[in-house]
Amino acid sequence: MRKDVRIKIIIFIALLILPTVVWGVKMLATDKAAMDALYAETEQTENRSLAKWPSDCSLNEYTGQIEQYYNDRVPFRAQIIEAGQKINTGMEKAYQKSLQPMFVTLFYKNRSGDMAVLDVDISEEEAVIEEVASEEPSEEIDEEEHDYVIKETVDPTCEEDGYILYECSDCGKTYEEKIPATGHTEELVEKTEASIDGFGRSLYVCSVCGKKIWKDFEPKPVDQSYFPLNIANNYTVMGRNRWLYYRGDQSLSYYTGENVMDEAEMKEHLDEFLKLKELCDDKGIELVIMFMPNKEIAYPEYMPTMDIVSEKKRNEIFLDYVKENSDLNFIYPLKELTDAKKYYDTYYPYDTHWNKFGAYVGTMALYDALGMEHDDVSQANVKFGGADSVAFGLVITGALPLEDYMDATDVQVEYKEDIQLTWEEGTKDYLRGYTSLYRSVSDTGNNKKITFIGDSFREWMIPYIQRDFDVVCMVQREDMALASEDIRDTDILVYSAVERFDKDLYNRLPRLIEILSQ
């Protein structure tokens, strides 16, 4: 290797490592208080905070954050880079002014076509450079002429960036400096292995903000061995893992897909819904049609062995048809309920209804359809109750010994308990009796009235809905005439049924249209 080349390499390496060596020596020779004072003086001079050592590892930002930290503290490095850039710029100008015209003349003198773009008028380019140089200083130079002071500081949270707002004390000009979000401080509180009872998962909670962070999901093992159909007392279907299902109201036809509607039938029902929607639109009422999934469709994994005619069920197909052929607000929260099973069960194992958590998931799906802000169901504040709050309807229907099923637990959701009712009429407790018509008034700040026509599934939704709407009316479908005034004088109308009662919903639709037409 030539001697001059070796010398250049040595100089280059020295330029690279010298700033770090000087910094290291200075750090060893200077006490921490003096170094902190030096950095503080730099911050005051430049009206900004020096870059901090990154607190978390983000592959996209980590190296850049380290570089910013290094540049703010190591002497000479920024100046060397700036000098290098100036040298490069000067060399580029010399090339364009002297060498480039010579090369163009020498190599492309007699050529045309695409190479013509190289025929640059150097004098014009220099004029452009001179014009740019005469323009006003850049924003960075302009900022140095201001006397910036901190006007406002917003601390970052685990998920949201904060910022420091600076304002010039002379002219009022401002700029913001972003403070990156801190990220969650995760603490493992529960780890569950996958089993036939539920999904495997790990639950972490952030010790700073309290957010639940679910990880390490493992699918629930599904028993696919032959399990014969066995029906107790003509109505209760004995399922796997001691789960019970309902045979009545042709529920098994919904499960097997035997009762899928043809297009003519779906069109007939949709046309009736659109008549209802037109009436609601005329009165300024927002309409939602809501079908709650049957338990056996939400929890097929415990059903006995049966011949499946259609994997896609009756109301899944109808939902697709409605979306393709109308703008009707129609919801069937099967996906929401099955997705939420990763966290907690959504239906009672010994009853045909959804449980309190399932009703919460269904309510959030309704709010989503209405365009309302709503909770992330993974963040539900739950507690577990004993058998005294669990529904055992299928045990009683099947004439089964109740003592064999007292191991059941209830998933209860604590929801906006600071909002209190100011008035109510009727009762809403499904387990101990409820009235066909229920009304309540509370101060939620929503300033809207919702009228909900449905069946027993609505009872589990009341504790949530009455904490989000000032005025609530819940009425059984067959008794909707009791709420005629509520129906006509409402902001939001929900017409609903658990899907095994969808035929009843269609049959009573003319009566609802008649009430709204009066």
pLDDT at 211: 95
Q: Does residue 310 sit within a domain?
A: yes
Q: What is the pLDDT of residue 18?
A: 73
Strands 433-434 and 428-429: antiparallel
- 210 with 283, same domain: the answer is no
In a domain, 86, yes or no: no
Residue 286 lies in a domain: yes
Q: Residue 10: is it exposed, middle or buried by C-beta count within 10 angstroms (0-12/13-18/19+)?
A: exposed
The torsion of the CA quartet 380, 385, 388, 394, rounded to 10 degrees, works out to 60
Q: What is the pLDDT of residue 32?
A: 72
Q: What pLDDT is stored for residue 15 in this prediction?
A: 65
Same domain, 390 and 409: yes
Structural domain ending residue among the three candidates 33, 53, 75: 75
Q: Cα separation of 56 and 159, whole Å?
A: 13
Residues linked to residue 382 through DSSP beta bridges, in sequence order: 413
Q: Kindly state whether residue 113 falls inside one of the protein's structural domains.
A: no
Question: What is this structure's pTM?
Answer: 0.71
HSE-CB for 175 with a 13 A CA cutoff: 12
What is the total count of domains within the chain?
Answer: 4
pLDDT, residue 116, reads 38
* Amino acid at the residue 326: S
Cα 352 to Cα 151, 293, 299, distances in angstroms: 60, 11, 11
Same domain, 177 and 297: no
The candidate with the shortest Cα–Cα distance to 475, out of 446, 491, 490, 455, is: 455
Q: Are 356 and 478 contained in the same domain?
A: yes
Q: Token pair for residue 32?
A: 């921490």
Cα separation, 315 vs 332, whole angstroms: 8
- C-alpha 177/C-alpha 165 separation (Å) is 6
239, 375: one domain:
yes
> Given this model, what pLDDT does residue 326 score?
97
Q: Which of 300, 294, 412, 306 is nearest to 351 (CA)?
A: 294
Residue 381 lies in a domain: yes
Closest by CA to 300, choosing from 332, 347, 262, 344, is 347
Looking at the structure, do residues 20 and 144 belong to the same domain, yes or no? Answer: no
DSSP secondary structure code for residue 8 in this structure = H
Is 422 contained in some domain?
yes
The domain in which residue 170 lies consists of 137-183
Say whether both 469 and 400 belong to one domain: yes
Q: Residue 21 has what pLDDT? A: 76
3-state secondary structure of 1: coil
Q: Which DSSP string corresponds to 144-212?
A: HTS-EEEEEEE---SSS-EEEEEEETTT--EEEEEE------EEEEEEE--BTTB-EEEEEEETTT--E
Residues 489 and 513 in one domain: yes
The confidence score (pLDDT) of residue 429 equals 85
HEC string of 89-131 equals HHHHHHHHHHHHHHHHHHHHCCCCHHHHHHCCCHHHHHHHHHH
Residue 348, exposed/middle/buried by CB under 10 A (0-12, 13-18, 19+)?
A: buried
Q: Which of 183, 209, 244 is the last residue before a domain boundary?
A: 183
Residues in CB range of 458: below 8 A, 6 or more apart: 452, 474, 496
In a domain, 251, yes or no: yes
- Given 129, 153, 183, which residue is the final one in a domain? 183
Verify that 235 and 354 share a domain, yes or no: yes
| 255 and 380 together in one domain | yes
Residues 84, 82: Cα–Cα separation, whole Å: 5
Residue 342 lies in a domain: yes
In degrees, rounded to 5, the angle at the alpha carbon of residue 56 between the alpha carbons of residues 54 and 61 is 65
pLDDT for 486: 98
Check whether residue 155 and residue 200 sit in a common domain: no
Token digits for 24? 């290291």
Using only C-alpha atoms, the chain has a radius of gyration, in whole angstroms, of: 35
Residue 57: per-residue pLDDT: 60
Q: Residue-wise pLDDT tens for the chain (518 aa)?
A: 566 557 767 776 776 677 777 777 777 777 777 777 777 666 655 455 666 777 666 555 666 667 667 766 665 544 554 555 555 555 555 555 555 555 545 544 444 444 333 333 434 444 433 443 344 444 444 545 888 999 999 999 999 999 999 999 889 899 999 999 999 999 999 999 999 999 999 999 999 999 999 999 999 999 999 999 999 999 999 999 999 999 999 999 999 999 999 999 999 999 999 999 999 999 999 999 999 999 999 999 999 999 999 999 999 999 999 999 999 999 999 999 999 999 999 999 999 999 999 999 999 999 999 999 999 999 999 999 888 889 999 999 999 999 999 999 989 999 999 999 999 999 988 777 899 999 999 999 999 999 999 999 999 999 999 999 999 999 999 999 999 999 999 999 999 999 999 999 999 999 999 999 98
Same domain, 170 and 193: no
